[in-house]
Each structure stands twice: as C-alpha cells, then as structure tokens.
Chains A and B, each alone.
Chain A
C-alpha cells in the first residue's frame, strides 16, 4: 500500500516541530542557568566557606585484616611489616644526585629509578614517594647507617599479608591481591576507601566481609598546598575478625607430604561436627607473590604448568568415584530390599546383559566365584555390583545416592565448589537428547560412566555413612573472634537419611574387611593399630580399554594411568574421622591411595589420645 505524500503538510509539520524543539531547548537551558545562578550567586557564600573547610580533609584509616589460625592456633595468614624506602622531593635539594648516591649505596637497578621518576612527576612535591618496596635486611642495615646523609629520604613501614605455610594451604586459604577495576565497581565505596587488597580465593575470598574490618577516618587539616597541619578528629578503624579454622595444619602437612610425587587431593572431615580437618590439593603454589604483585612470567608458568597447580582439586576436581561408590550402592540394595546380605551371586569374571554380546568385565580375570554382599565389598567384585545395579535400576540408584550428596554441592563455606554429576534418565534426556541405556546402569553401579564426584563430596558421603545417615555438612571456619565478640562459624543443616541400622552395619562390616581381612583390597594399612578402620578402595579409568585389550600399567603413559581412590573412616565402632583420597594416575587405590588415608587417620587418632 502506498499513500501519496502531502508535501506541504509535511513541511509545515516539520518546521513546526523544529521551532517547538528550539523553544524547549531554550526553556531547559534557562533551567540550567537558573540553577547555576542559584549555586554561584545565591549559594556562593555558603559554598565558598565549604570549599575553605575542604582544607579539612577526610582521610580513610584502613583496618588491619583479620588473622587466620588453624584449630590449634597456628598462624595460617598474618600481616607482616614490610619496609619501603621513600623520598619527599620537596625536602631534597638535588634529587638526581641523591638518587645516584642511593643507587651506588643500595645497588638499585635502573628500571626502579625510572619508575620512581615517573611516579614523582605524577605527585605533588611534598608527597612521600616510594623508591624501593619490601627492602631486605641488608638494604635496611646499609641505609640505617647512611641515613643522616640523606635528608628527605626515609624508611616507611606497612603491613603485607603473608602465608607462612605457602603451598601447603594455598588452595584452602587462598590469597589477597590488589583490587581490580571490575571488583571496585561492586564494592561498597565507603568501606573500601583506602583499601588496596581484597581476598581473591579460598577462605580469604569467602570470608572477605569478616576479614576486612570497618574503615575509620581522620579529619586532617591541610593548608592551601594540601600539606598536613593538624589532625582534628579520628574515628578508629575496626580491625577485621580473626578466623579460627577447623583445619589441623600438622595433619594437613602429613597428607600433603604423603601425596609427594603425585597430583591429587585429600579431604578429612571430623564426623561429629562436619569440621574439615584436612583440605589438600597437590600441587599447591606459593600464594605470597600474588599479594605483592606476581610477575607475568611466574603467573604464566603457573597457568601453563602441566600439573595445573592453580587448580583446586579438592573443591573443583571432578573424578569418576570408581569402586568407592560400591558401599553406597550396596546400602541402596539393602534399603530397597533388592538383595539380602546372605544372598550369593556368582561371578564368572564378566557380566552380560540378556541378548547383548558386550561383556562387562570384572577387574579380576576368572572372577570371584560365588560372593555375598560382604565379600563383594571386601574384594570389590564388579560383577556383583553390575547385577545389583541392574536389579536396582538407575532411578533407585539416583534417588538413593542423591541423599548422600552426590551431584550436589556440599555447602562448604568456600566459594567455587563444583556440583559433580549424578546421572539420571531425566538428565540424559535433557543433556544428551537420548534415552537411558541399561548398560549405563551397570557402569554407574561400579562408579564409572557419567558419574563424577569431587574429593570433598566423597569425604562428605563417607562421613554421612559412618554417621548412620545423619548428614554431615563440611565447614572450615570454627569461630570468628572480633574485638568485643566471638561468633560461631557457618550454620550447618542437620538432615537425616532414613536408614535401617542393621543395613548400615552390614555395609560397614564389609568396609572393615577391606582393611582387616586377608582378602581385603587395602589390607596393607592394618598394622600398628588397636582400633578398626573401615574403607573402600577405588580405581577410576582415565583411558577406555577396548573389549579384548589388556590394561597393562607398565606399558602406558603415566598421564593415562588410572586414578587411585580411597574412602575411609575410623574407628569403625565409634567413627571420628572420615578421609577421602584421590591420587591422579596413581594406579591402584589399595596400594597408593589407602596408605595416605592410613597415615592421616593414625596420626589424627594418636594426637587425639584415642589409644
């Protein structure tokens, strides 16, 4: 449809609008002018006096960041004094000469002199400008002697965050670093005026609000050149709260050292409270350079390292749980009455679904023969669990495992936790647009396939099992101590999974036999103890093995070797500590992962006078 345009009408209309807009513009500009007159003539006296009062400047007083301690009061994060050499250009008669003599005295590299010159140009002459940051003892001593010859040059002290345990606590404590622009936008400006650093990772980031403290301010009188004359009024800053963690640094060190030579993670939880005792991700990294400003090369090296030291395996690492899931599947079988403890299933070394050629193999060639539930756990019989999984079905397994926190965040007080993956029919339909295959039920039953867990999730599920189904929520901060009050750590919810105690005990008996029976897969760790440990080994495939191929540990690349896993708790009759260990490419759970958990458990129970 095309309508003939009426040009003269359009012309008139348009010119009309031009004139109207012109008048609107004049009107609005008049508004601006009226406001300017109001501010500059009527308000001139008022604002001029305020401008003079501006010589009373409000400067922020930055609070001291809270300390972080372990459960025994060992310092994990502290504020240490750092010394910088600063110059006040106004008080120095010949600045180039002074710089030259300082350079010969302290062997200052040229680029630092250049940086100082640049900095100096940007600042007023009476402002103290740093030349050297974080001076070492030798530099301090040399300058202290020569100080009288350098008027206008002085040493200044400020506090720098320091992590004495370095790599050992890097992932759990995290670090503080300079506030960047995008963070600045979301921060409360008044609270962070004057602050330079903010928690970026781990506890430092998760508890930023508690650690930072409350900024105070001082009213300072300055003259026209903004030189300080007098301090009029001070509102002191409130230092940040000190955090006392549930972590045991000695136990942490034992676990970290035990992992030596491997990448992996160890998480230990106090079953009674949910307090995390050990939270290790190896390799760690030195967080201290991040505080003062990490060099690009160092950062790149960390980023590109094959061992991925910046990756928090305990919190974010996703692994197939392998056979460590079997106790939970066994318990599901008992709870849903799919099987009885005495019922024996025959294991010929493989399992086939009706009408399918594919053989689901047992780790033991030739099979385990007839096994009941206890033996199936003790010897980690795959065929038993293929059949049990098949009897249960994926829906039952999914709903049961979910109660133990598989596929869900544990709710630990650390930012960045991964959810893991507990597959279900619905999940597969939504994500893969495929229906669920019976074969996938089988491999889920032995902890392979889509199933993925974090080490923290494994530790939590084990603790919950040991706790007779009373759900354990892991946390790290035990209490926050401020100047006038002490508040407890995070609130943990107390759900309970309805379980029959006899069923739980049947499964635990199987887990005890893993360590304390002659055929147990982790019998190597039952020495030198007068209590019982319950556990389960696991091996998670990194590489898919073809139907008729043979997995030979010695013939394949290290990085394709299986992950070794172990979950455990002790003492079996009165559980206190639950430990989950994952050793990447470690091979066998029994020989590599179990001894690490064994060391942690033995030390913890010895320290806590259990024997």
Chain B
C-alpha cells in the first residue's frame, strides 16, 4: 500500500487536537448527530402534546446512546473484526430463542426479558450482520467469487427470515440491506445485482403467500389508501394531509393542527416526519434532508479513508444502511413506499433504535480514529 506523504513531517499537535484524539471522537460526525438529536427534542415536544416527561425520557435515552457511542469509539476496530463471527452467531441464537419463546407464548415476541430491561436481539443483529459479511468477504480477494457470494447470501438470508418471522418486516428489511450493502461495496458485479433484483421481483408472489394478513393489508392500503379511511388507510391519508397543508414555510413550531387534533396517529414515532413537515414546511423538510445528507457524506468519507478491507466494508455498509433508514421512513410517510415499521433515525421517539444507531456511528468513529500510520 502507498505510504501517505502528508504525515512525513509532524506538526506539534494542539491541546484540543490531543484531547479529541484521546476521546476518539469524529467532530464533524459528532456535531451532525448532536444537531439531529436536538432537533428531535424540539419536534417531540410538539408531537408529544407538549409533555416535558416525553422529552426527559428521550433525553435520558439519547444521553445513554451517546455514552455508548463514545465507549465503542474507543475500541480498536481490530476487536470488531476479531469478534464478528462470535457476535453474529450469538445474535442468531438469541433470535431463535425469541422465536421459540414467542411460539410458546402464542404471540409475536421480539425481545428477551432480562429483569432490568428488555433486549431485542434483532437490534443487535442489525450491526452484527454487516460485521459478519464484511469479515467473511475481507478474507478473500475482491470482487468476491461466486461461491463466496452464495455463502454471504445465506448469511444475510438467515437473520432476515428469522426477523421477518417475528414478524418485524421493517427490521428485516434493514438487516437485509445492511448485508446487501457489504456485497455491493465488495464489488458485486452489476450483472449479479441485476439478477438479484429480477429474482426478488419474481419472488414477490411467494412472499405475498407467506405474509401475515396485517402485512398484506398494509401493502394493499398503500396501493389504495382511500379504500379504508377509518381503518388501514387512515395513517397515510392523514400524513399526506399534514405534510401537504404545511406548504413552503410550514405552520410554525407547535402550530401543527393535524397531530394536535389527534388526526395523525403515531405522530411521535414512525410518523414524526409528518409533524415536522407540517410545522416547518418544505423549507424544514429540505433542511432535515440536508442534515441527513451531510451525516451520510461524512460517513462515506470515513469509509473511503478506512485502511483495511474489513473496516471499509463495515463503514460503508453502516453509512448506506443509515440512508436506507431515512429513505424508507420518509418514503412511507410521504406515501411513496408501503407502511413498514421503521422509525425516522435520530428523530423518532423510542430507545432501542437510537442506541443501535449511535453504536453504529461509534464503530465508524473507531474506524476513523484508530488508524495505524505507516
């Protein structure tokens, strides 16, 4: 590998620089995440009927998630690589455990009760799947050969199906895309990509057969929301009304009428973007998208600067998956994608998703701040 020339003569590091290096924090990324979290409090206050308790609870979770991110950023990325298979295997076992307990309890179950808190194995698998695939592909020359692709494909399909069975379509989709993203960055040939897309579309009728009734309803409602305005179509119609009535400049903070009047359900969780777009308009929507783009761009930059194959694949997959998160949620809220249960990353109310997300950013920071210069 080429030796980088810009480090041949060292400048004496500034005090601030030293502290930041010690903290293993990537400042641009950190600022972006902080901004998004602050924005989240602002909008949650409005969406959650101005209940301060909601903000305090969320702030505690976000604080905890930031702490976890910093801790993870301190771990040398070599350790992630080393424990990839172990963590992935553990995650799969826990998923199976949850599924079996769900069968015994005769209902959908997604978590394990651990006394003090609930643990969702599907959240853990969101990170360990790209770790596993990256580890596996990094062992071999890239672009990956056919047999490696088949193994990697299986490693993606297993957790995806286990989660889809829970049934949690949203998370299954995210896990699938995190694994597929690794394949893409490893240099999966375009012919293969085209082949996979064709196969997936051919599989749609089979998938339809295995879907739960409520999942089928969601797809049907997405195709024609007006058909069931009191029931399934309610979310989409109300969310479109909220966003559309926001106009260019929005109705101002706390000015949303749709969520205030309880027309918009799940306004604090999956449908929070509708409240945001109603109150801050197109202007606000574009600003939020820009903030997301800046975060993603920084992540991709970190991936491009990463030094070994494992780090690159993992970093780039985490970046792309974050975008999938954003795209699927906003796409669903503005009515161009079906309603799958995916929260708006960094903004929606809820603890589990933000902890996983910031852990992922912790990995990215670790990769960026642990380079061994030669």
Contacts and interface: CB of A to CB of B under 8 A. Distances in A.
Interface string A1-40: 0011111011001110110011001101101110111011
A37 B143 CA distance: 40
A222 B297 CA distance: 46
Across the A-B interface, give the 10 residue pairs with the lowest CB-CB distance, nearest first.
A47-B244, A190-B231, A51-B245, A189-B231, A190-B230, A40-B282, A13-B187, A39-B244, A43-B244, A48-B245
A304 interface: no
A7 B247 contact: no
Nearest to B49: A122
A6 B140 CA distance: 11
A193 B277 CA distance: 27
Contacts of A88: none
Given A32-B334, A40-B285, A189-B230, A47 B241 contact: yes
Nearest to A48: B245
A50 B234 CA distance: 14
B244 A17 contact: no
A594 to B, nearest CB: 40
B184 A17 contact: yes
Given A40-B248, A40-B282, A47-B245, A35 B334 contact: yes
A25 B316 CA distance: 13
A440 to B, nearest CB: 31
B304 A44 contact: no
Given A10-B141, A21-B316, 14 more contacts: A6-B141, A13-B187, A17-B185, A18-B304, A18-B316, A21-B185, A21-B300, A32-B334, A36-B282, A37-B282, A39-B243, A41-B248, A44-B245, A48-B247
B357 interface: no
A125 to B, nearest CB: 13
A14 B312 CA distance: 8
A36 B230 contact: no
B240 interface: yes
B263 interface: yes
Contacts of A44: 244-248
B142 A13 contact: yes
Interface string B315-355: 01001100100010011001110000000000000000000
Contacts of A185: 108, 214
Nearest to A189: B231
Contacts of B257: 51, 54, 224
A182 B277 contact: no
A344 to B, nearest CB: 54
A225 B304 CA distance: 53
A57 interface: yes
B187 A14 contact: yes
A3 B142 contact: no
A37 B263 CA distance: 23
A36 B243 contact: yes
Contacts of B143: 13
Interface in B275-324: 277, 281-282, 285-286, 289, 293, 296-297, 300, 303-304, 309, 312, 316, 319-320, 323
A72 interface: no
A185 B109 CA distance: 13
B285 to A, nearest CB: 5
B202 interface: no
B232 interface: yes
A28 B329 CA distance: 13
A26 B326 CA distance: 13
Contacts of A155: none
B63 interface: no
A51 B232 contact: no
A36 B244 CA distance: 8
Interface residues of A, number: 52
B249 to A, nearest CB: 10
A13 B309 CA distance: 12
Given A18-B185, A46-B244, A50-B241, A188 B231 contact: yes
B107 interface: yes
A28 B230 CA distance: 32
Interface in A149-182: 182
15 contacts: A5-B142, A10-B141, A21-B185, A25-B296, A29-B289, A29-B293, A32-B331, A44-B246, A48-B245, A51-B244, A51-B245, A54-B263, A57-B261, A122-B49, A186-B213
A5 B262 CA distance: 59
B286 A5 contact: no
A265 B183 CA distance: 64
A326 B288 CA distance: 80
B228 A190 contact: yes
A13 B143 CA distance: 8
Interface in A106-126: 122
A40 B304 contact: no
A58 B258 CA distance: 14
Given A40-B285, A46-B244, A54 B108 contact: no
Interface string B116-148: 000000000000000000000000111100000
Contacts of A40: 243-244, 246-248, 277, 281-282, 285
A80 B135 CA distance: 66
- The residue in A4, A47, A186, A217 that gathers the most chain B C-beta atoms within 10 A of its C-beta is A47
A60 interface: yes
Contacts of A222: 261
Interface of A: 3-7, 9-10, 13-15, 17-18, 21-22, 25-26, 28-29, 31-33, 35-37, 39-41, 43-44, 46-48, 50-51, 54-55, 57-58, 60, 122, 182, 185-186, 188-191, 193, 217, 222, 224, 226
A477 to B, nearest CB: 26
Secondary structure call for the A interface: helix
Contact of B261 (A17, A25, A50, A54): A54
Nearest to B263: A54
B365 to A, nearest CB: 18
B148 to A, nearest CB: 11
- The residue in A29, A57, A122 that gathers the most chain B C-beta atoms within 10 A of its C-beta is A29
Nearest to B106: A182
A373 B49 CA distance: 81
A193 B247 CA distance: 31
A29 B289 CA distance: 8
Contacts of A33: 286, 289
A182 B107 contact: yes
Interface in B1-57: 1, 49, 51
B141 A18 contact: no
Contacts of B260: 226
B185 A54 contact: no
Contact of B240 (A10, A15, A47, A48): A47
Contacts of B319: 21
A9 B142 CA distance: 8
A21 B247 CA distance: 31
B244 A58 contact: no
Contacts of A13: 142-143, 187
B242 interface: yes
B4 to A, nearest CB: 13
Contacts of B187: 10, 13-14, 17
- The residue in B1, B214, B244, B285 that gathers the most chain A C-beta atoms within 10 A of its C-beta is B244
Contact of A36 (B263, B309, B334): B334
Contact of B316 (A5, A17, A32): A17
- The residue in A15, A25, A41 that gathers the most chain B C-beta atoms within 10 A of its C-beta is A25
Given A54-B258, A190-B231, A10 B242 contact: no
Contacts of B248: 40-41, 44
Nearest to B188: A17
Nearest to A43: B244
Contacts of B304: 14-15, 18
A481 B289 CA distance: 58
Contacts of A47: 240-241, 243-245
Contact of B289 (A18, A32, A182): A32
Nearest to B184: A17
B327 A28 contact: yes
Nearest to B244: A47
